[in-house]
Amino acid sequence: MTLTASAQLTAPAELCAATARLWRDRLDIEIKPGHEEVCIDLSKTRFIDSSGLGVLLTLNKNLRARGASLKLINPSSAVCQLIELTRLHRVFEMIHD
């Protein structure tokens, strides 16, 4: 059995332009190079805009570049609707418990 190094983070209630910088800074701190998997809990995120999506896309791109993966856990319906509108469901791996 292989153990995967995973980072578990909870996204803020609002993941938007106003909070994107702070959130990006936090990701830089929390996610280590050894993490092969990053799980972002989006269950408490009621609002996300294109800037918030941009943060997740950058993270996803960076993780994939080093062979790691990003999982979006329990995104709220508002988040799901935006992801689908922007067709990013083809990019993100979303997991619903």
Partner 1 sequence: MSVPQQQFDGFRLDFPATLDDARNAVRSVIEWLADQQILPDECQQWELVLAEAANNAVNYATPEQSRLTVRIEAALSAHDIEVRITDHTSGFDWPDHVELPDDDECDHGRGLFIISSLTDHVSYLRGKGHNVLCLRSQRKSTPKPQEDTEATLELMTAEVASCYETLANIFRLIADAGNDVEPVALASRWLEELRELAGADFLVLRMAGTEAGRLPIVGGVPSAIVWDPLLELRNHDAVETLAAVTRQDQWFDESTTFATADPLRKAGEHISGLSHPLESGGDLAGVLTVGVFKPRWEPSARELNVVRSLGDFLGALLHGLHRRDEANQSRLMKRELQIAADIQRSLLPAELPQTPFVHCAAHLATVGEVGGDYLDAILLPDGSLLFVVADVMGKGVPAALFATAFHSLLHSHLDLASQPSRLMRRLNKAMFAELDRADMFITAQLVHISADGLALQVCGAGHAPLLLSGGSQIQEVCADGPPLGVTADADYQDFSVSLASFTHVLLHTDGLSDVVSGGGILSRDELHTWLQGAAAAASDAGSSRDSLHRLHRSAVDAASQQDDATFMIITRGAQTLTANTQNSLSHAKG
Which residues here bind partner 1, judged by CB under 8 A? 14, 16-18, 47, 49-51, 53-55, 57-58, 60-61, 78, 82, 85-88, 90-91
Q: How far is the CB of 48 from partner 1 (least distance, A)?
A: 8
Nearest CA among 73, 68, 94 for reference residue 5: 68
**C-beta of 31 vs 88, nearer to partner 1:** 88
**C-beta of 5 vs 21, nearer to partner 1:** 21
Residue 30 CA to residue 83 CA, distance in Å, equals: 24
Q: How far is the CB of 42 from partner 1 (least distance, A)?
A: 15
Phi and psi (nearest 5°) for 49?
A: -120, -170
Residues 6+ apart with CB under 8 A from 20: 51, 52, 54, 55
Q: How far is the CB of 28 from partner 1 (least distance, A)?
A: 15
**C-beta of 10 vs 58, nearer to partner 1:** 58
